[in-house]
Amino acid sequence: MKLVCNTLLKKLHGCKAVIFGVTILVFLVLAQNAESQQKLSPELSVIISNSSSSELHKVWIYFELPDSLLEKVKLSEKSLRRRSKVFGLNDSQNRFDFRPSDKVLQEITSTGVPIRRVSRWFKAVSVEASASQILQLVRLAFVSKVDLVKTLSTPLPVVEVSQQRNIPAQRSALLPYGLSLFQNSFINAVKLHEAGLSGKGVLIALFDTGFDTAHVAFDSTSIIVSYDFINNDDDVSGADCPTGVQQSFHGTLTLGVMGAYLPGTLIGVAYGADYALAKTEITCTDINGNDEFKVEEDNWIAAAEWADSIGADIISSSLGYTTFDDGGSYTQSQLDGNTALITIAADFAAAMNILVVNSAGNSRSPQPGAWNTISFPADGDSVLTVGAATSDSSLAPFSSPGPTADGRIKPDISAIGVNVFTVRQNGGTISATGTSLSTPLVAGGAALALEHDSTMTANEALKLIQQTASSSQNPDNDFGYGLYNAARAADIIKIDQSGIFQVTTGQTRIIAISASGRSLATPAISLAGTVPAGISLTDNSDGTASLSVTGSAALGVQTILNIVADVGYYADTARLVIEVQSLTSDFIRAAPNPFTSSVRFLISSAAGNWQSLTIYTAAGERIWEKVNNFAVSADTTINWDGRNAQGKATSAGVYILHFRASNAERRLKLLKTN
C-alpha cells in the first residue's frame, strides 16, 4: 500500500504502531453485571443514575465487529480517484469503508430503539434511548462502549458527482470583481484567475447553517448536490427560526465568498468549482433559550463521511464547537487533536485525502473565564485552521489564538476576515467579519491550486500553504505561518534564487538561476526592466539560466535585479540584490558565527558613523533593528541576544544582517543553531 505517512495516516493505517481503538476507551460504571459496567462512559452512567425512567438520552453505541458483520459502503468514482493519489488505485478502499451490517442494526432496533445515524468511520450508531434501553443495549455482545454524544438520523445515500456545469467565461485578463477585488488581491488569487483558474473540476463540500441558493449570485454556481443533516432531506435553504433568526444567513455568506459570480459586483475565489452543500448547524434556540447543541457536532461528522463518499476534494467549515448548552461540553485540555469526536472525524477526512479547512474561531478575549483559544475541530493536526487579519495585515482582534493543548502551532494560516464582501440571504450584498469569512477565502484559493495540478494531495496542499505564507520561518499562535498567498501555494512556477549576492570590484561572478514548480511547461527566464552594464543573463532553455555580474563602480553599492520565469499563462518574479564591495577594510564582523543564543557585531571605525543594524529572516521579514542617532566613529561592539523585537527567542536558521554606516553598507549571513 502506498502511504503518505503524516501524523494522521500513521494513526489510521499503521505507519507505526498506533491503534485507533485506543480512542474508544473502556470505562467503569454503574452496578449491573461487570461486563456491562465496563461499557458505559462515566459521564453517561452518572446521568442515567440521576434520570427518570422516561427521559431519553442521545448516545453513540460503538461496536466491535467481525468481518462477517460488516458491509462495504459504495463510494463514488471521484472519491476513489481522490484517494488513489495517496493510497494507490488498488488500496483506495480500506477498513473504514465498512459499516455495521443490517443484521447488527436489526439487533439494535429489536430493543425498540430507533437508529438515528450510522457511522462507518467510528463503527457506531447514534440513538435516542431511555436508561433501561441503554442498559439493555450494553448487554449485546458486539457493543463495546456507549457514550453521551447527541446525534442524528439514518445513513445517507451515495450521490454520484455530475461533471456538468455552467461556468461563466473569463472575458478579460482582469475579472469584473467590483468590491471583491480587494479580498481576492489580498490572498493573491487574482494572479491565479488571470492564469485561467477558477476551481473547475474541484469539489468543495461546504458545511454551514443553510444556503440561499436562489440568490442571483449563484445562478452560475455549480451546486451538484446538497443535503440537510438537520431535517434529513435535500433542501438546504431551510426555514427561518420562529424568533426571526435567518437559518440560511451564515451559510449564504460563506458560499458567496467562494462561489458567487456577479460581474461588476462580486467574484468568488473559486467561482468555477463544484459545490456540495451540507446544512449541519442549527441557529434556532429551544424553549430554554439554548442555541448550541452537541447534535451539531454529530451533524458535522455525518457530513464529513458523506463528503468523503461523494468525492469532495475540500471541506470548508466555518464552524467550531466548545461548550454546549445541553451538556457534554469539552474542556480546553481536550484540544489535543485526539479527543473530540469532531476532530477525530476531521482527521479521518484528511486521511482520505480531503483538505479540511476550518475556522479558528472568534473567541480571543482578555476577559477572565473567556474561552480565548481555538475551538474543535480546529485542533486537528491534519486540519488547516484559519485565523483572521485586517485589511492592513494586522491581527483581527477577535481571531482565536493557539496553541493546542499539546503545544502545536495554531492557527495554521491567516487571511483577511474583516469587512469581507459577500452576498446575503434574500438578496443583496453585505460586508461581514469573522474567521468564518477568512476560511472560505483559503478554501477557495486551495481549489485553484488543485485545479492546476490534480495530482496534488491534501497533505501537500496544506504544507505548501504553510511554507509559502508570510511568516513561514517564524510561525506563532496568532497568525500561524502568516498571511495566505494563494498564488505561491499553488506552486505553479517560481525562481529558486532570491536574496543578496556580493561581488567585489573587478570580479566577475556567475550565479546559477533555476526555476521549479508544478507547471509542465518549461519557463523562459529573463531579466525585467533596464539591465545595467556588467550584468547579463543567458537562458539555457531548460528551466535554468546563468547570471553574469561584473563588479564595478558603475553598479553602485547596491543593484536590484528582477528575474522572471514565465510559462505563458503565469510568471514569477524574484528580487536579487547585487552588492559591490571594494577590496578595502573589513567594516563589520559577526562573532561567533554560527551562534547559539547571542552574537556580537564588531564595527570598525573605518565604516565611519554607523547608522543602523537590521536583522531579517531568510524570507525577508524584519525582526530586529538597532538604530544609532549619535556620531560614533570609533570601533564599536553591538550585541544581539537572538530575540525578535517582541522579545521572543528566534528559531534556529539563517538570518541576514543589514549594516548601514556613513562609509559602508554591508550584509552578512548569520546562522543560529540549536
Lowest mean pLDDT among 69-73, 400-404, 537-541: 69-73
Q: Pick the residue with more confidence: 545 or 283?
A: 545
Distance CA 300, CA 281 (A): 8
Average pLDDT over residues 374-395: 96
Structure confidence at residue 49 (pLDDT): 82
* Model-wide pTM > 0.85: no
Look up residue 442 and give its amino acid: V
pLDDT tens string 422-438:
999 989 999 999 999 99
Classify 455 as helix, strand or coil.
coil
Q: Residue 1 pLDDT > 50, yes or no?
A: no
**Nearest by Cα to 441 from 197, 175, 183:** 183
Distance CA 388, CA 483 (A): 9
In Å, how far are 12, 272, 406 from 411, measured between CA atoms? 24, 28, 14
Residues 146 and 61: beta-carbon distance below 8 Å: yes
**Nearest by Cα to 380 from 417, 422, 426, 349:** 349
Going by the DSSP 8-state scheme, the letter that residue 539 receives in this structure is E
Strands 653-661 and 508-516: unpaired
Q: In what order do the strands lie in the sheet with 274-279?
A: 222-228, 274-279, 203-208, 314-317, 355-359, 384-389, 413-416
Look up residue 415 and give its amino acid: A
Q: Which residues pair with 384 in a beta bridge?
A: 357
Classify 278 as helix, strand or coil.
strand
Rg (C-alpha) for the chain, rounded Å, is 29
Structure confidence at residue 297 (pLDDT): 76
Distance CA 432, CA 444 (A): 17
Q: Which CATH class is domain 178-490?
A: alpha beta
Residues 398 and 434: beta-carbon distance below 8 Å: yes
Average pLDDT over residues 457-468: 98
49-58, 259-268, 325-334, 527-536 — most confident range: 259-268
**Counting runs of H as helices and runs of E as strands, what totals does the chain give?**
14, 32
Confidence of residue 10 (pLDDT cuts 50, 70, 90): very low
Strands 384-389 and 355-359: parallel
Lowest mean pLDDT among 127-136, 391-400, 626-635: 626-635
CATH 2.60.40.4070 positions along the chain are: 588-672
CATH topology of domain 494-581: Immunoglobulin-like (2.60.40)
Going by the DSSP 8-state scheme, the letter that residue 334 receives in this structure is G
Average pLDDT over residues 154-167: 34
CATH 3.40.50.200 positions along the chain are: 178-490
Q: Residue 227 pLDDT > 70, yes or no?
A: yes
Average pLDDT over residues 524-534: 93
**Which grid coordinates are listed for 170?**
473569463
Average pLDDT over residues 400-415: 97
Q: Pick the residue with more confidence: 255 or 127?
A: 255
Structure confidence at residue 424 (pLDDT): 93
Cα-Cα-Cα-Cα torsion 603, 609, 611, 617, nearest 10 degrees, comes to: -20
Q: Residue 606 pLDDT > 60, yes or no?
A: yes
**Nearest by Cα to 250 from 380, 103, 439:** 439
Q: Residue 568 pLDDT > 80, yes or no?
A: yes
CATH topology of domain 588-672: Immunoglobulin-like (2.60.40)
Structure confidence at residue 29 (pLDDT): 34
Give per-residue burial for 648-662: e unless 16+ CB within 10 Å, then b.
Answer: eebeeeebbbbbbbe
Treating both helix axes as pointing N-terminal to C-terminal, what angle do 435-452 and 458-467 enclose, rounded to 10 degrees? 120
CA 473 to chain centre: 17
Look up residue 608 and give its amino acid: G
Cα-Cα-Cα-Cα torsion 525, 526, 528, 531, nearest 10 degrees, comes to: 150
Give the mean pLDDT of the chain: 85
Q: Residue 529 pLDDT > 60, yes or no?
A: yes
Q: Residue 128 pLDDT > 50, yes or no?
A: yes
Structure confidence at residue 609 (pLDDT): 87
Give per-residue burial for 224-258: e unless 16+ CB within 10 Å, then b.
Answer: bbbbbbbeeeeebbbebeeeeebbbbbbbbbbbbb
pLDDT tens string 342-362:
999 999 999 999 999 999 999
CA triple 532-538-542, angle to 5 deg: 145
Average pLDDT over residues 587-614: 88
**Nearest by Cα to 23 from 342, 328, 265, 299:** 342
Residues 388 and 494: beta-carbon distance below 8 Å: no
Average pLDDT over residues 103-115: 92
Structure confidence at residue 156 (pLDDT): 34
**Nearest by Cα to 436 from 324, 317, 258, 355:** 317
CA 114, 120, 121, 123 torsion: positive or negative? Answer: positive
